């Protein structure tokens, strides 16, 4: 298994520079970047991406890399460094595992530590595109009635944001959003679109802004199986949640089109009233009512769920490693676990909502955060999510 860290070095055309300013150069181009492999200097890597629970919004992904800096290669003032002029914030950085991207972002900080022994360390901190979207302000204007995916693209295409089309992966969207006034923070607005859709907005492992609508339903055709009985990828003892963290039986949905409240009567009898409210941009009262009904149907009972699992990558086959490195937010997984080898195995499907890597010279641990799929949208023809009933995970949605 090869984990690679690459630093983006500027190869941009520069007017009047005797080297970088040569017209027709194939090395120095407009916006040019060359990726330099700095893996041989790495001491440790930590990656954190995703969110903690289904109803949370995704956080900005973070990366920390610790380098050996005894030769001052990462000292921005050392002119003999092979990276001189590039040890600055906002340079690109990426981490690959067996050639598959696991993180793409930009440097936010360089922190240098010089020990009298000569064991000098350079620490790189990076953030993904969410951090930079959070710093953008919308161009004040009017949004037309459109699907949620079209609204995401409209925001990203604003002059104040100007997000490249090649850096987007946007679903069409199943909800129609009403006319609106653009104003305020770009990321905050995009997350309201995400909430209005009931979908997912995140930065994927390739650094793209990704938007998944609620009809991007799971199937059992491409499921990564984790198991403690030898039938799937082995994992460390699971963290399980079973409580009221995601239990709501009275949900009020609002939009400029109106307000609707849905109640889970049986759930309220069992657990008392647990309220939640959702502010959306939906264009019609019918959508608002349907969304409230859907949310109550999804969250009005407590669920036994695997919140997180950990995988020691050194214990895996090449095929299993490839499956792990292919995971991203919204990937479907199945967990099979028999606590203490007592009783029947517990089997649950889940949606990946966070991924972490802790890498040192001696080990590589991947941590996978798991979201609920026990009440996933109905998928016609699927052996698991195409069933309806009290114990079936597939439910009809709006």
Q: What is the DSSP string of 174-223?
A: SSEEPPEEE-SBHHHHHHHHHHHHT-EEEE-TTS-EEEE-TT----GGG-
Report the C-alpha gap between 189 and 154 in whole angstroms. 11
CA-to-CA separations, 289 to 55, 195, 318, in angstroms, rounded: 19, 15, 48
Q: Which residues of the chain have a pLDDT value below 50?
A: 12-23, 25-30, 376-382, 386, 391-395
Residue 125, beta-bridge partner list: 64, 109
Report the C-alpha gap between 308 and 397 in whole angstroms. 27
CA-to-CA separations, 192 to 120, 172, 184, 185, 199, in angstroms, rounded: 45, 16, 12, 11, 10
Model pTM score: 0.88
CA dihedral angle for residue 363, residue 366, residue 367, residue 368, rounded to 10 degrees: -170
Q: What is the pLDDT at residue 378?
A: 45
Beta carbons of 214 and 397 less than 8 angstroms apart = yes
Q: What is the pLDDT at residue 218?
A: 59
Domains in the chain, ordered, with CATH?
3-126 (no CATH), 133-212 (3.55.50), 217-242+303-398 (2.40.30), 243-302 (3.30.1920)
Q: What is the pLDDT at residue 397?
A: 57
Q: What is the pLDDT at residue 237?
A: 76
Beta carbons of 155 and 186 less than 8 angstroms apart = yes
Burial class (CB in 10 A: 0-12, 13-18, 19+), 239: middle
Q: What is the pLDDT at residue 25?
A: 41
Alpha helices in the chain (DSSP H): 129-133, 148-156, 186-197, 265-271, 285-299, 318-326
Per residue in 259-316, pLDDT tens? 999 999 999 999 999 999 999 999 999 999 999 999 998 899 998 888 899 999 998 9
Report the C-alpha gap between 91 and 6 in whole angstroms. 11
Per residue in 196-240, pLDDT tens? 999 999 999 999 999 999 877 555 668 999 999 999 999 987 788
Sign of torsion, CA 339 244 211 191? negative
Burial class (CB in 10 A: 0-12, 13-18, 19+), 288: buried
């Amino acid at each position: 298994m090869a984990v690679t860290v690459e630093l983006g070095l500027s190869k941009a055309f520069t007017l009047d520079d005797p080297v970088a300013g040569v017209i027709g150069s194939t090395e120095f181009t407009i916006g040019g970047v060359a990726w330099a492999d700095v893996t041989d200097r790495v001491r440790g890597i930590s990656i954190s991406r995703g969110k903690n629970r289904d109803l949370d919004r995704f956080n900005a992904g973070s990366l920390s890399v610790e380098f050996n800096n005894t030769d001052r290669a990462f000292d921005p003032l050392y002119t003999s460094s092979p990276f001189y002029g590039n040890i600055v914030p906002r340079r690109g950085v990426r981490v690959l595992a067996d050639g598959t991207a696991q993180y793409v972002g930009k440097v936010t900080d360089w922190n240098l530590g010089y020990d009298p022994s000569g064991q000098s360390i350079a620490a790189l901190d990076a953030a993904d595109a969410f951090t930079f979207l959070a710093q953008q302000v919308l161009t004040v204007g009017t949004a037309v009635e459109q699907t949620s995916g079209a609204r995401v693209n409209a925001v990203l295409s604003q002059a104040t944001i100007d997000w490249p089309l090649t850096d987007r992966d946007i679903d069409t969207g199943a909800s129609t959003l009403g006319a609106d006034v653009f104003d305020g923070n770009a990321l905050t607005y995009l997350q309201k679109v995400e909430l209005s859709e009931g979908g997912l907005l995140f930065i994927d492992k390739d650094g793209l802004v990704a938007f998944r609508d609620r009809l991007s339903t799971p199937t059992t055709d491409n499921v990564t199986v984790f198991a403690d009985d030898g039938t799937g990828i082995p994992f460390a003892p699971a963290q399980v949640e079973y409580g009221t963290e995601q239990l709501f039986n009275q949900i009020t949905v609002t939009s400029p089109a109106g307000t609707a409240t849905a109640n889970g009567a049986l759930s309220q009898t069992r657990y008392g009233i647990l309220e939640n409210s959702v502010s959306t941009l939906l264009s019609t009262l019918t959508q608002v009512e349907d969304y409230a009904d859907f949310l109550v149907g999804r969250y009005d009972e407590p669920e036994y769920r695997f919140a997180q699992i950990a995988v020691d990558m050194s214990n895996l086959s090449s095929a299993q490693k490839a499956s792990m490195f292919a995971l991203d937010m919204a990937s479907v997984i199945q967990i099979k676990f028999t606590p203490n080898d007592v009783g029947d195995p517990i089997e649950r499907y889940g949606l990946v909502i966070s991924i972490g890597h802790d890498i040192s010279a001696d080990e590589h641990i991947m941590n996978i955060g798991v979201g609920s799929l026990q009440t996933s949208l109905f998928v016609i023809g699927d052996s698991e999510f195409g069933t309806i009933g009290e114990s079936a995970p597939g439910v009809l949605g709006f």
